[in-house]
Amino acid sequence: MTNHLLAALAVAAVPALAIAQQQTVKPEATEVWTPVPKIVTPGATDDMPPSDAIHLFDGSNLDEWVSTATNQPAQWTVHDGVVTVNKQAGDIETKRHFNNYQLHLEWQVPVGITGSGQARGNSGVFLATIGNDGYELQVVDSYDNTTYVNGQAGSMYKQSPPLVNAMRKPGEWQVYDVVWTAPTFNADGSLATPARVTAFQNGVLIQNNFALKGTTQYIGAPWYKAHGRSAIRLQAHGDPSPPISYRNIWVRELP
């Protein structure tokens, strides 16, 4: 036989083998029937909490939150179904502590915002609070406002710029949807697996399974310190610009 003919036979043999396998292995062999995923009833719209979510802020009160500094009731201003940052009162954090979760929250930079760079609508979502530290998903006005890119809206502060700038202009609501995988630690306190974050802003992917290098630091390199379940914290940044607002914050705990 010629080499050409051998090659042609070899090519023809592959589908024949595949067909033979399909005839001996049944489709059922690769079907999985249990465990059955539990039923979760979605919200009436995708921005509303599903049936297994905890509504951390539904527009009516801050009962799920405390002041970080005092552990007393949170003193931010609830009005018109939103909560506006009270910069004098400092950060607020959830009473509940979390490990892995899906988080939804919405935030708005007010029309007429002033300042520039980091001093323009700065706040932040600490995805886990570790003492005075944590892992900050940055909130700041990044609509036509230049700052260091690993500190603009949607960055994991000083570690990972957002993949794109998906900001809406002041006066419009920004939506963050976040998947947080907490870090794990060995018995001696050393890091076993890093924290990971996936995030969308206004439906646009801004962080894709980013592995953090540690807590987000204003000065210097990040590092890990062992911790367990943690509060989610919202930042009252000291910049003099008018305060931003939040609304519709819900979380779903994940395995």
The footprint of Mg ion (CB under 5 A) covers 122, 124, 235
Neighbours of 39 (CB within 10 A): 7
Shortest CA distance to 74 belongs to which of 64, 82, 171? 64
State the nearest-atom distance from the C-beta of 223 to Mg ion, in Å.
19
Which CB atom, from 155 or from 248, has the smaller least distance to Mg ion? 155
Q: Which is nearer to Mg ion, 81 or 240 (CB)?
A: 240
Query: Which CB sits closer to Mg ion, 137 or 251?
Result: 137
Closest distance between Mg ion and the C-beta of residue 124, in Å?
3
Q: How far is the CB of 135 from Mg ion (least distance, A)?
A: 12
For Mg ion, the nearest residue by Cβ is 124
Query: Where are the extended beta strands (E) located within 47-195?
Result: 54-57, 65-67, 77-79, 82-84, 92-94, 100-108, 123-130, 133-139, 173-181, 184-185, 191-193
Residue 50 or residue 110: which is nearer to Mg ion going by CB? 110
In the complex, the smallest distance separating the C-beta of residue 42 from Mg ion, rounded to whole angstroms, is 31
Least CB distance to Mg ion at residue 125 (A): 9
Cβ distance to Mg ion smaller for residue 53 or 85: 85
The CA distance from 62 to 198, in Å, is: 26
Q: Which is nearer to Mg ion, 122 or 147 (CB)?
A: 122
Min CB(140)–Mg ion separation in Å: 6
**Residue 124: alpha-carbon gap to chain centroid:** 11
Buried b (16+ CB within 10 A) or exposed e, 209-236: ebebbbbbeeeeebebeebeebbbbbbb
Closest CA to 246 of 94, 35, 68, 128: 94
